[in-house]
A = this chain, B = another copy of it.
Amino acid sequence: MKDKKEKIKYYDLGPLIMPKSVAIVGASYDADKVGHIILRNYLNAGFSGKLFPVNINAVGDLLGLKVYKTVSDIKQKIDLVVVATPASTVPEIISQCGKAGAGGVVVISSGFAEVGNVDLQKQLIENAKKYKLPVIGPNCLGLVDIKSKTDTMYLPSFKLDKPIIGNVSFISQSGAIGSIVLDLIDHEGFGLAKFISYGNADVVDESDILAYLAEDKETKLIIFYLEGVKDGKRFLETIKKYGLKKPIIIIKAGTTAQGATAAHSHTAALAGNSEVYDAIFKQHGLVQAEDLYDLLYFAKIFEMSPLCIGNKVGIITNGGGAGVLMTDAICKNGLELAQLSDKSKDNLRKVMPGIVNITSPLDIGGDADRIRFKNAIDAVAGDGNVDIIVAIVLFQTPGADSSVVAEIVNAKNKTNKPFIVISIGGNYTLAHRSMLESANIPVYESPMAAARALKALIDFSNAKIQKK
């Protein structure tokens, strides 16, 4: 894919990802088969483009649609072909797609290099390259584009919570990890733009997808589950070009020797040396997460907060112990507790009851109500020594209720500093957390997780500034 001048060419994934017409090869009459499920999902989702079921044993309509025996029989423009037939049939289908001038193909089927069928995989690649056809997969879940209602996932929809539309896009080498993260996105309070599960990466690889999403107007930030790259040099050039254009939050699996072996038998990926990955990710501004939850926790702050290079954290809390834990957490992550200016302290002394000690973290007491929260947050948010605002709201206390939520939303709308909330607890707390997140305020349950997310935001912001 590279020419002599080292300028990388990427596949054009636009038609494939936001298709106006979709053929589904392997659209079975059996309601339990993958191809049938995908077709039905398209119909249920209200996809507004054209749908062409393809089944070599076509014997009549399927779910009210005409069925074609092969892709070649369709004779209309096809943006996306989804293939869910046995592995052995796939290379020939790829050729048919190429001849038919399809925009691209997603191969859901597995049974290629990941189980030792290397020759079959080679043939798939050869046929795709012959027609310069972008092929995603095989051995993948395919893709989701919320806006165009494209969804090639064949998983039972009642088993996953559906993400709402948003501006986070998600790339996953693993289908299962893909489904987990999709299932959790709504719970973490943000929305999805596009999801691409790319499996064995035989033709379209991680670099093509990264480049596409980096240029995609609907994608504000990218989250990425990676086991190993196909073409290291190409990947390096790609992240060099795009690493700081948008935040790319990445979890690299197979960072231990045994994990790398496991990754190889999973997607036939060569996991490579983890120190090398660490170094290049850092150099090019990629944000590394160590855990799936951190992937989501980091995405949340990048999605909801402005960039921020300062590391001084102003903490307001209605629980002393939680203030101590948050202070420990930020210090362990290289951030600092902001010390309030004398002016802020004077102002606070005027409005706080005598029992409140005007210091950092600012513990406003277990009986704090919305007025005390408002006064405290106004003072801390307005203080020039404070770069980041952390409000710890323990909703178990008598004064903390949805009126405090309202004050926090008001205060957040008045500031251009990152503003996060820590709230830890059961059902009553979770209800208030949803309110805050629907107002674009990231809420964390764990002080350590929140501090790691803040650190990630600051590191990316600094890298971006330095590059300018």
A residues whose Cβ falls under 8 Å from a Cβ of B: 110-111, 115, 154-156, 158-161, 172-177, 179-180, 183-184, 186-187, 225, 227, 251, 253-259, 262-263, 265-267, 290-293, 318-325, 327-329, 331-332, 336-337, 355, 357, 359-361, 363, 366, 394-398, 424-429, 445-449
Contacts and interface: CB of A to CB of B under 8 A. Distances in A.
A12 to B, nearest CB: 28
Contacts of A225: 321
Given A159-B428, A227-B321, A328 B397 contact: no
Nearest to A34: B398
A446 B293 contact: yes
Nearest to A154: B398
A328 B255 contact: yes
Given A155-B398, A332-B256, A426-B161, A325 B292 contact: yes
A319 B172 CA distance: 13
B396 A328 contact: no
A357 B115 contact: yes
27 contacts: A159-B428, A160-B426, A161-B428, A174-B320, A176-B321, A176-B366, A176-B396, A176-B397, A179-B319, A179-B394, A180-B396, A183-B424, A225-B321, A253-B325, A256-B327, A256-B331, A257-B331, A262-B337, A262-B361, A265-B320, A266-B323, A266-B363, A290-B448, A291-B329, A291-B446, A291-B449, A292-B446
A177 B422 CA distance: 13
Contact of A184 (B227, B263, B324, B425): B425
Contacts of A429: 159, 183
Contact of A321 (B177, B320, B337): B177
B425 A174 contact: no
Given A262-B324, A446-B291, A426 B187 contact: yes
B321 A184 contact: no
A174 B319 contact: yes
A295 to B, nearest CB: 11
Contact of A254 (B174, B324, B398, B446): B324
Contacts of A172: 321
Contacts of A176: 318-322, 366, 394, 396-397
A393 to B, nearest CB: 11
A379 to B, nearest CB: 18
The list of the 10 closest CB pairs from A to B, nearest first, reads A174-B321, A176-B319, A161-B426, A266-B320, A256-B331, A259-B328, A177-B321, A179-B396, A183-B425, A259-B327
B327 A262 contact: yes
Contacts of A328: 253-256, 258-259
